[in-house]
Chains A and B, each alone.
Chain A
Amino acid sequence: MAKEKDPNSWKYWQFFWRSWAIQASWNYERQMNMGFMYGIAPVLDNIYKNSEDGQLKKEAYQRHMIYYNCTPQTSAFVLGLSASMEEQYYEDQENFNPETITAVKTSLMGPLSGIGDSFFQGTIRVLAFGLGINLARDGSILGPILAMIISFVPSFVITYYGGKLGYTMGNKYLSRLYEEGLMDRVMYVCSIVGLMVIGSMIASLIELETPISFGETFVLQDVLDDLLPQMLSLAATFIMYWLIKKKVPMGWLLTICIVGGVVFNVLGILN
């Protein structure tokens, strides 16, 4: 094994450990946003070392504070890819549209958490703990130990090599895309996928419903569902979007969400 040491290997370990820590500040509003920022921070700090890059660094940090949610183990891949895109953006600021990074991130989170959650929480966990329960019931300590080992190995392998693959793949293909001027097209494609995924998440993850009804015959939610299922979730998103466009301060919006939730619930408008 006389291989040369990869100068980027420190980054892979950063992706690895930080994608495990990605849920440390999981919150309802933007979910793993800070985790992602934390994950990519060492790379950003490395890129924007000089003091004259302060503004760019700030923008880069802000770029990674947006909504993000994905299985922790598969997040390493996204971290790796985003990191290599950030590096390329720094090299070629005229041609690289940084919104591409957001678009790529967004279009990846849906499929990767779909695969990741069903693999880790569906397949591996059920397998590991199914075995573990059997042994533990007979009073064998091997049960939990085996369950942990079966959970750990795939998790380790996929997190580490996922980060590495994302980073090297990004480096290899992204620069070619730029040289050939294909990035606008990639951006277009990624935006389509990303927005469709967000649309789907609005319909499947929010689930706002109204309990309003008059007598037995008129149940407002049923009427709404007949018109357009999950209409209220879409409406809530667009109202928030509109308020953001109106430059309503963030603190206000957050207060509106929490107080609004309680008030609408007390008034019997939403549940």
Chain B
Amino acid sequence: MLVQSILLGLVGVFCALDSRLLGRLNFERPLIGSTLVGLVLGDLQTGLVVGASLELMSLGIVNIGAAAPPNMNMASIIAAAFAIFSNANAETALTIAVPISVLGQMLDIVLRTFLSNFSHRADTLIEQGQFAKARRIHIGWGTLLYGLSYFIPIGWGTLLYGLSYFIPIFMAIYFGTDLVQQLVDIIPDWLTDGLGVASKILPAFGFALLLNTMLTNRLVPYLLLGFLITAYSGLDVTGIALFACIVAFIMYEVKFSGNGGNGGNAEEADPLEDDL
């Protein structure tokens, strides 16, 4: 059981690192994760079936932008392992998967918040001219943390099953889901909710840093224009970008075309403007 726990932990790490190191090749999808579990535990059929039903359930879950969706990857690996160990069917595996995916989601939020600190560490290292160290933070610590974060809970999940190895099958499943649920319950709501709010304020900080390098008073209206269109109409970023191209084109015409009329923007005027 120890060997299998470790192996499953490694499968989890590999799948988790898919979107971290392998450009999101979809190894993290339930279908692949469960199949790998089936291969490791020597029950490919169950792995495939559990994977297929979990995949069907999570086909709509997408990783876009900053959203942290329920962690179906972690869920699928533990659920497939439970199903194989306990001869449970795919439906039972689904009920195990749901609380685990929520636990995984919370873990993701904590981790991604935590990694913000590493950005600042890298800032300092660059300031000191230690470029290689700064790079290692990204590839080393980032990878390690994401990897470990999967290893520990999967270790839990499988260890948990190991403890209840001789207990009747239904007890094992019951106890398993229950413990995950208890883990979820231990973390106080105010902390998870608070971290949720923090995870919304942190991007604001990121945008502010970006604006710090880009924004001049003259350009504030464009920032607001993009904001207002999305805020009032819900148009997405791609739509705004297309609009922005047209706005930019029009402003370009206004500013640079015609008889040298640069609209009084003397400090921004291009010295070669008249040549074109």
Contact = CB atoms under 8 A, between A and B. Distances in A.
B208 A240 contact: yes
A194 interface: yes
Give 9 nearest A-B pairs by CB, closest first.
A261-B198, A199-B226, A114-B238, A25-B142, A262-B194, A20-B23, A196-B226, A181-B272, A240-B208
Interface residues of B, number: 113
Interface of B: 19-27, 29, 31-32, 35, 44-45, 48-49, 51-52, 55-56, 59, 62-66, 112-120, 122-123, 126-127, 129, 131, 134-135, 137-139, 141-143, 145-146, 190-191, 193-215, 219, 222-232, 234-238, 240-245, 247-249, 251-252, 255-256, 268, 270-272, 275-276
Interface stretch (A2-10, A86-94, A119-127, A168-176): A119-127
Given A25-B118, A136-B52, A196-B247, A262 B22 contact: no
B199 A196 contact: no
A38 B139 contact: yes
Nearest to B252: A189
Interface stretch (A77-85, A214-222, A247-255): A247-255
19 contacts: A27-B114, A28-B112, A38-B138, A111-B241, A121-B24, A130-B59, A196-B240, A198-B226, A200-B236, A200-B240, A234-B231, A236-B204, A237-B207, A237-B208, A237-B211, A240-B207, A244-B209, A251-B120, A266-B190
Nearest to B24: A72
Contacts of A250: 120, 123
A261 B110 CA distance: 13
User: Is chain A's binding surface mostly helix, strand, loop or mixed?
Assistant: helix
Given A102-B213, A115-B238, A204-B236, A38 B226 contact: no
Q: How many residues of A sit at the interface, in one of the four size bands?
A: 35 or more
B23 A73 contact: yes
